[in-house]
A and B are shown apart, each in its own frame.
Chain A
Amino acid sequence: MSTLFTVGDPLVETKAPDGPIQDRWDTRRFEAGLISPANRRKRSVIMVGSGLAGGSAAATLGEAGYHVSVFCYQDSPRRAHSIAAQGGINAAKDYRNDGDSIRRLFYDTVKGGDYRARESNVYRLAQVSEAIIDQAVAQGVPFAREYGGLLNTRSFGGVQVSRTFYARGQTGQQLLLGAYQALERQIGAGTVEMHTRHEMLEVIVIDGRARGIVVRDMVTGAIETHLADAVVLASGGYGNVFHLSTNAMGCNVTATWRAHRKGAFFANPCYTQIHPTCIPVSGEHQSKLTLMSESLRNDGRIWVPTKKGDAREPREIPESERDYYLERQYPAFGNLVPRDVASRAAKNQCDAGYGVGPGGRGVYLDFADAIARLGRRTVEERYGNLFDMYQKITGEDPYRVPMRIYPAIHYTMGGLWVDYDLQSSLPGLFVIGEANFSDHGANRLGASALMQGLADGYFVLPNTLTDYLASHPLPADIDDSHPEARRAVEAVRARIDALLGVGGTRSVDSFHRELGAILWEHCGMERSSEGLQQAIVQIRALREEFWSDVRVTGSGAELNQALERAGRVADFFELAELMCIDALHREESCGAHFRTESQTEGGEAQRIDEDFTYVAAWEFVGDGSPPRLRREDLEFEHVELTQRSYT
């Protein structure tokens, strides 16, 4: 294993201020440099990605007066995958008077992340959570409301308070539309320049600072250079490395991976979240997996037959022959245990032969009791769109037949390493939203992704980025002709030519599918030393085959979707190897990272705090050289590390 990576100096500087945790964000904002409104127009920012994080940040920075250029691969910023988030957004409003507070949201998030997140960041997240709801409501986000007109909330996995705000089953859509509309307002006002159907393929680093990007116009194939004072990546997560995931088809790691290769450390890549409630795979043709919101676990009950291989219609199986295994194993939280716990429990049931549906890879999520208790109309109001979606995909009516669900890759807690300012280890490169690693530790709680994306975009980055812009303007004499800019363009062209030039026999998708299968098998819900080592060998061999046998038709000078995918899959190969190395080196289980060798007697994740209470930030040191591990030790002053227990 020693040949797989080397160990470098620890990361000490995180920029988190000292002092009482509740004052740190105040302190940092006070210490940050400012730029007067009249001078902001002269400062420019590149934003890659237009989802909740990128869209809200770009709108906010544009409103503040900065010159912002936004890039997205979709045909409109409103298509970013944040739009698919269903269940809700957490905030410590305590509208329910049920004991919630900033401190409790902080505590729940750190505990939910299995004590592998940075305390200062999480506390700040909880602090700004309230303002996010205010902001969204002011923009016209149609959250669910009580009859009296006040905002409604519901509860989510891993917590015992009701702090999740929602807009039916389309919360992400509505929050994104709020950010998108704010962004469009700035585009209309001329502060933001929008570049749709543009994909970032390289970072331009000048004198050690990120100063621009190289993008490909996906319609004409033109390679363009864009320079700015600072670059922000808001390009989302890398779940699609598994091929089948709940991500949109276009989600990819290219922006963050290219930045990684230029000096941004990649943190905790093995922390990938598997969502317990997805529609099971129906066949080889499957191109993606569809999530059924976790909110369904508020009212749905999960069960399997007590008899192995029971092929009866679920409605014909009497109560006495059903095992509501989550309610049985975790009486305190029941069906609302955190995602990692629920996912593994489902896998264990199926591995033991109790699974239902094709191949026995599914468990029931049953609404019969909820419909009897609340009436069909209430259930329809809460989850109507999800039920419709389920029916469209499976052809089954979940109002009459229980849903079949199975875990799928959903979210990636890992991402580019950032300090308290959300700046990566490459100066001038900031990373926000799912693309960074910062707040969720080894496992994200439900309804916290939207919260983090918007916290970063509306409130955190606009403050910390200003500090950087105030002190590091782009030197006036730098333009597209700078040697580093030219080198980056040349690198992009060479790579495109290489992909087009392989001229092999296999499609990009066939490689992607095979890569995904390796990862799902060895770096998915359960990982072992042996399996991971095997996976690394397989990934390397497949990557070699990719570069000698992939077939990318067409040319680079046109709309070429095969070429787009080829570039993304090529980067996924490199990431996949790092994920396995990260998973292999972390010999403990924590949160979503479950190592077979490290479990409690009851089969739960067993952390090894004395050895692994750190962030694993990986430094790229060159092709063919093993990555260098840079540890950031995590200190817990405000929560006590305990074995997570949801029983």
Chain B
Amino acid sequence: MRLTLNIWRQAHSEAPGALVPYLVDDISPEMSFLEMLDVLNEQLTAEGEDPVAFDHDCREGICGMCGVVIDGIAHGPEALTTTCQLHMRHFNDGEEIDVEPWRSGAFPVLKDLVVDRSALDRIIASGGYITAPTGAAPEANSTPVAREDADRAFDAAACISCGACVAACPNGSASLFLGAKITHLGSLPQGQPERDSRAVEMTEQHEAEGFGGCTQIGECTAVCPAGIPLDMISQTSSDVLGALSRGNFS
């Protein structure tokens, strides 16, 4: 395949950026999208130009490090698929493809397609955990967990923290990410003691980081590679309301 790529180039966070066209040839349908970018970078290196910077690591869809906006869609046209797992068989010879970084005020561009997503870590640090000091854990089978609760927790815990939900949201909200963690921990008996404070503190941190609010548009879940459903956002609202009515959080 022969493709034209319009790629966002930006030298650093303060520099202006622009879409720059590149031509790549001999792209095989078996390649992943990132392997196609590897081909471009080899080509740029050979020409003495700066290769395109993009984040990636595991290349098997689980680490959450990769992610670009492809023709306006976070992670590209295939549902439930990270950029690294998107293969070129889904594109046509001669196609022109726009490649941009995640766009959100809370995710500043560091270089080209690389953005700073540390805000998501800070949301977890504000309460996205169960306090369980090493060594103090009770015997694992002493607390049975109903299978439907365990399954719900798992479905939520599948979030890979890639940030596509934020990139897709017209409000730049990380509500799907937030709801997934609140649902994961709140579905388990171990997560109950901190459930109220967790919901309130994480929600406050989400706002403090500059993410927008949720208006139930659903773009987030449409692009989510882990298939986190929209109702997990409702879980946040429900938990926050419950916490506020009980008032038992610090």
- Which of A's residues lie within 8 Å of B, judged by CB? 56, 59-60, 63, 74-79, 81, 83-84, 93, 95, 131, 133-140, 142-151, 167-168, 170, 173-174, 177, 180-182, 184-185, 187-188, 194, 196, 219, 248-250, 282-283, 285-288, 290-291, 388-389, 392-393, 395, 458-459, 462, 505, 507, 509-510, 551, 553-554, 558-559, 561-562
Contacts and interface: CB of A to CB of B under 8 A. Distances in A.
B49 A219 contact: no
Contact of A81 (B45, B49, B58, B143): B58
Given A170-B158, A285-B31, A150 B141 contact: yes
Nearest to A139: B132
Contacts of B118: 75-76, 196
Given A185-B125, A559-B111, A287 B59 contact: yes
A551 B38 CA distance: 15
B199 interface: no
Q: Chain B contact residues: over half helix, strand or loop, or mixed?
A: loop
B121 A76 contact: yes
Interface string B172-187: 0000000000001100
A150 B145 CA distance: 7
Interface in B111-168: 111, 114, 116-118, 120-121, 124-141, 143-147, 150-151, 153-154, 157-158, 160-161
Contacts of B48: 551, 553
Residue in A81, A145, A167, A389 with the greatest tally of chain B CB atoms within 10 Å: A145
A232 B82 CA distance: 33
A416 B85 CA distance: 34
Given A135-B132, A388-B80, A553-B48, A290 B60 contact: yes
Given A185-B131, A248-B58, 10 more contacts: A75-B65, A81-B58, A83-B58, A138-B137, A139-B129, A149-B144, A181-B128, A249-B58, A288-B60, A562-B51
B143 A168 contact: no
17 contacts: A56-B134, A74-B57, A75-B118, A83-B58, A135-B135, A138-B136, A138-B137, A173-B158, A173-B160, A184-B128, A196-B121, A249-B57, A392-B78, A462-B134, A553-B50, A559-B111, A562-B51
B55 A140 contact: no
B102 to A, nearest CB: 12
Interface residues of B, number: 82
A63 B139 CA distance: 21
A554 B48 CA distance: 9
A389 B80 CA distance: 10
A188 B201 CA distance: 12
B222 interface: no
Contacts of A168: 154
A66 to B, nearest CB: 13
A547 B56 CA distance: 26
Contacts of B146: 149
Given A182-B129, A285-B28, A287-B35, A507 B140 contact: no
A283 B124 CA distance: 40
Given A137-B140, A140-B188, A148-B144, A283 B57 contact: no
Contacts of B34: 287
B229 to A, nearest CB: 16
B2 interface: no
Contacts of B124: 180-181, 184
B117 A137 contact: no
Interface in B58-76: 58-65
Contacts of B157: 140, 142, 167, 173-174, 177
B198 to A, nearest CB: 11
A81 B132 contact: no
A80 to B, nearest CB: 8
Contacts of B127: 188
A531 B189 CA distance: 57
A140 B130 CA distance: 7
Given A135-B132, A149-B144, A248 B188 contact: no
A559 B50 CA distance: 11
Closest 3 CB pairs of A and B: A149-B144, A181-B129, A138-B137
B86 to A, nearest CB: 8
A154 B31 CA distance: 34
Contacts of B64: 76, 78-79
Q: Which of B64, B127, B140 gathers most chain A CB within 10 Å?
A: B140
Nearest to B181: A181
B228 to A, nearest CB: 14
A380 to B, nearest CB: 13
B147 A145 contact: yes
A184 B87 contact: no
Given A134-B138, A285-B30, A392 B61 contact: yes
Nearest to A63: B133
Contacts of A167: 154, 157
Nearest to A95: B141
A146 B145 CA distance: 9
B3 to A, nearest CB: 14
Given A182-B129, A285-B31, A393 B140 contact: no
Contact of A150 (B133, B136, B144): B144
Contact of B53 (A181, A509, A559): A559
A139 B59 contact: no
B42 interface: yes
A187 B63 CA distance: 21
Nearest to B89: A395
A389 B61 contact: yes
A507 B130 contact: no
A283 B5 CA distance: 22
Contacts of A559: 12, 53, 110-111, 114
A137 B60 CA distance: 26
Given A140-B190, A184-B124, A63 B59 contact: no
B184 A138 contact: no
B184 A142 contact: yes
A392 B138 contact: no
A153 B64 CA distance: 27
Given A219-B110, A558-B111, A170 B62 contact: yes
A142 B31 contact: no
B42 A146 contact: no
B45 A562 contact: yes
B57 A393 contact: no
Given A84-B62, A185-B125, A249-B59, A147 B45 contact: no
Nearest to B144: A149
Given A140-B185, A149-B147, A248 B137 contact: no
Contacts of A562: 45, 51
Contacts of B160: 173
A286 B146 CA distance: 43
A138 B129 contact: no
B132 A182 contact: yes
B110 A173 contact: no
From A147, A149, A174, A395, name the one whose CB has the most chain B CB atoms within 10 angstroms: A149
Q: With a 10 A CB-CB cut-off, give which of A93, A146, A458, A507 has the most chain B CB atoms.
A: A507
Contact of B137 (A59, A79, A137): A137
B49 A553 contact: yes
A142 B134 contact: no
Contacts of A174: 154, 157
B81 interface: yes
